[in-house]
Structure 1
Amino acid sequence: MGKQTDMTQGNPARLLLAFAVPLMLGTILQQSFIIVDRIIVGHLIGANAFSAIGATSSVSMIFTSISLGIAMGSGIVVSQYFGAKDEKNTALAIRNGTIISVISTLIISALAMLLTKPILTLLNTPDALMKEAAAYMLISMGGLIFVILYYIPFSTLRALGDAKTPIIFLTICSVCNIVFDLVFVRILHTGVGGTAVASLLAQGIAGVLCSIYAVRQYSCFRDALKTSKFDKKMAKQILKLCIPMGFQYSLIYLSGSIMQWVINRFGTGVIGAFAATNQIENLIQQPFTALGTAIATYTGQNAGAGHTERIRQGLHSALKICAVYAIALVAVFWGFGNLIMGIFVSDDLIIKNAVTGIHITSVFMIFLGSTQITRYFLNGAGDTVYSMANGMIEIGCKLIFVFLMTNIPFIGQWGIWWTIGFTWLCTAVFALCRYKSGKWQKICTK
């Protein structure tokens, strides 16, 4: 099993790769199984079912991302105390972060269920998709607590520098998800609702197993269980960091929901195509996310240890790795676009639209990677102002570009994918400007 890693010493590039590669393999594996999940829906239930799930993705993530952002923020506080070699406060941060995450998730889940039907109606979800979309989202939001109980131990282990152990439980989750999918869809014939239940059950099982492992292997987890105290000072510190992060991600997906409203106007052929390209983008950006998670942990630990120059070196190494990977992606999508998109559905119109869409967004992948890595870096440094500002810029860009470009006659529906690309470009420029301003350094040295 994996062990915690001290990132305050050693070669930055090697540490980041050693941390990111196993994490990347794990998350790619997880995303691959999610894609298999969508393939099961697209081929065993139908193109409309595939499009219905796609129509709920950005809406569901508005609520889910708040909970994940809070858990991620808690993990950064854990990494800072771990980097400072403060075992008592490391345990206290784990306990308080878990309590805050669970309570906030229960509230968010109830709110999401109440708003499911009104939001889908507001977004002009086509009548042909509404029933299945509403069923899928209601179940997913009702079981949001399973998602967060799955994410908390994973996030905390990564904060301690343990990138390898979560892969084992990600694999367990992914395999369970596919098995449950086939049982619910092929044997029980439960439709899209069954796929939502399958995902929640798989995450619940993986979360319980990962939590048991963490308690047995790490003293800070055991100490977190033994300590009955809810520390107001620690809670305030966690909330100060995680609330802006939660809202940053929710704003990003709010803009995605507004985009979905525009996408829905173009019909199921475009809805399905966007869902397909979105799934592929979620898969291929996992190395960016893995590097980002590595740099967040690296930054948090080195900030706790007071190694400011070392933090800067780590970011530069991560950005170089990002550039090489982004260039390779362009060649893959332009060379094998039809083959890749044909995996999801057999509908010719959806495939054709998806291939053109991925050709457009692939040339902007380097900006997506730069944004992801710099975002995680600044979050790891505790730059909460950036978190909120970045979310506002992303939502602003998506709104401006999507309404502008889809209304240009010779662009039309392709403006959806151009919007994604230009938004990545703008947020990358902002993130790098924020880094160059040096404000993160002042926060680290406080």
Structure 2
Amino acid sequence: MNDGLSSKDSQRRLFVLEDNMWKVILSISIPLAIYNGFNHLFTVLDTFMASQISSNVVSAVTYLSQIKTMFTAIGTGLSVSGGIIIARCYGAGEIEKAKKYVNTLFFMATSLALLLLIVIIPCTKPILKLANTPSALIEVGSHYFIIEISVMVSMFINNVYIAVEKAKGNTKIILYLNLLVIMVKLSLTALFIYVFHWGITAMAIATLISHSILTIIAIMDMLRGDNIFRLSKENIDVSWAFINPIIILAAPIFFERFAFSFGKVIVNSMSASYGVMVVGALGISNHISGIITGLGNGFQDGEASIISQNIGNKNYERAIDGFKKTLIINITIALVGFIVMSIFMDPIIRLFSKGDIQFAKEIKNIFKYERYAFITLAMSAAVMGLLYGLGYTRLALVINFIRL
């Protein structure tokens, strides 16, 4: 088959389709799991640095981040659905078709991000009020929110680039690039807060700079002459017949992520009635839990790509085997995580309470119950990876709405 694949890409494709499944899952998913785990760990450290400013800043970051996630769900839906289709074409050896989907996906993601910016930024305060954001948090974080929303353009492009590399099974580069983003973000945040003593807006600037670096790298890579999926306007196809499969798969994923984030916004809004401190405590508990659940989500992402490629190549039994093995790995991670977090719960919480006994108590009251969800979330991640890999995004939507 004259598919234009490089020797390395061809070997990676055959590895996913034919090699030992345990080896494939660990090779593809471990870099994604490490990235997710580190991402949540550094989010925790980011929250820790925010706590050095004030508990109100922690609450603002927590509250506004969930509102932002509601909007970024559009980009997530596009990248996940596009990644599924690209992986399926890649597994089937339909490289020219995959090229068209890659280019069209980049065009759609960039256009939608710019459109959202034009709509959201002028309406920042009305949107925050509509989300029932406490006035104290609007005052503290409105400029922070505007900059975070501006990051969406980079995030949409980056998510598509990551989806393309994931579809190719090239997850190591995803790990390295995202660790670069995390380290730049963390270093700049530390510099802005501890050295320059700037406020919450500086944290958003650090996010903007770090994600922009990845965007520049992604665009440069996608413009390389030897890249099989090189960006080219000739390969953009926005005809309804071509983009319809993307939208059909993306819509349920978008509504699922949007609804889940909206649910968290509602929970934050209800918890705000107990005081701004409780909002911050809830956010910290979520971030600590995310270190463990993020590992499982990394295996979910790898699983979906592996299943998509094998379904494209009609390796149906092998695809199901990928799900079974991912489920075993995720449950193991959750059990170990539960034990470790239970043992070190108090020392971890003390890192964020800044000597505030009441704040520490609020965090513990939430986290001691939240840790029990590790097992069920691990199982859910494996099931979602299977459904995404099979393209059953509508069923995934129904299940997640029930969970919500």
Tell whether the structures are fold-level matches, with TM greater than 0.5. Answer: yes
- Alpha-carbon distance, 1:286 to partner: 1.7
The question of 1:227 aligning with 2:234 is answered yes
2:185 — aligned with what?
177
Identify which of 19, 34, 38 aligns with 2:43.
34
1:189-219, Cα deviation, whole Å (9 max, x unpaired): 4411110111011011022113323543863
Equivalent residue of 1:285, what SS?
helix
Q: Of the two structures, which has the highest relative contact order with CA contacts closer than 8 Å and spacing of 6 or more?
A: 2
Do the aligned residues in 2 keep the contact of 1:177 with 1:198 (CA within 8 Å)?
yes
- Describe the shift of the 1:282–1:215 C-alpha distance in structure 2 as closer, same or farther (beyond 3 A): farther
The question of 1:373 aligning with 2:382 is answered yes
TM-score (structure 2 length as normaliser): 0.91
Identity %: 21
Q: Quick one: distance in 2 between partners of 1:86 and 1:318?
A: 27
Do the aligned residues in 1 keep the contact of 2:103 with 2:233 (CA within 8 Å)?
no
**Deviating more after overlay: 125-134 vs 295-304:** 125-134
2:260 — aligned with what?
252
Q: Quick one: distance in 2 between partners of 1:131 and 1:315?
A: 47
2:5 — aligned with what?
none
Do the aligned residues in 2 keep the contact of 1:26 with 1:171 (CA within 8 Å)?
yes
TM-score (structure 1 length as normaliser): 0.83
- Describe the shift of the 1:134–1:203 C-alpha distance in structure 2 as closer, same or farther (beyond 3 A): same
Q: Quick one: distance in 2 between partners of 1:11 and 1:193?
A: 48
The code of the aligned residue for 1:334 comes to S
Do the aligned residues in 2 keep the contact of 1:91 with 1:221 (CA within 8 Å)?
yes
Q: Quick one: distance in 1 between partners of 2:242 and 2:226?
A: 20
Identify which of 126, 142, 146 aligns with 1:118.
126
Identify which of 290, 295, 311 aligns with 1:287.
295
The question of 1:131 aligning with 2:145 is answered no
Any gaps of 5 or more consecutive residues in structure 1? 396-446
- Alpha-carbon distance, 1:326 to partner: 1.1
2:154 — aligned with what?
146
Q: Quick one: distance in 2 between partners of 1:349 and 1:196?
A: 28
Equivalent residue of 1:372, what SS?
helix
Identify which of 378, 384, 391 aligns with 2:393.
384
The code of the aligned residue for 1:195 comes to M
Do the aligned residues in 2 keep the contact of 1:333 with 1:359 (CA within 8 Å)?
no
- Describe the shift of the 1:365–1:343 C-alpha distance in structure 2 as closer, same or farther (beyond 3 A): same
1:205 — aligned with what?
213
Q: Quick one: distance in 1 between partners of 2:135 and 2:364?
A: 26
The code of the aligned residue for 2:119 comes to L
Superposed CA RMSD in Å reads 2.1
1:13 — aligned with what?
22
Equivalent residue of 1:138, what SS?
helix
Identify which of 81, 99, 106 aligns with 1:73.
81
Matches within 5 A, 1:302-321: 302-321=310-329
The question of 1:84 aligning with 2:78 is answered no
- Alpha-carbon distance, 1:258 to partner: 1.3
Q: Quick one: distance in 2 between partners of 1:229 and 1:314?
A: 33
- Alpha-carbon distance, 1:55 to partner: 1.5
Q: Quick one: distance in 2 between partners of 1:317 and 1:182?
A: 40
Identify which of 175, 183, 190 aligns with 1:167.
175
Equivalent residue of 2:18, what SS?
coil
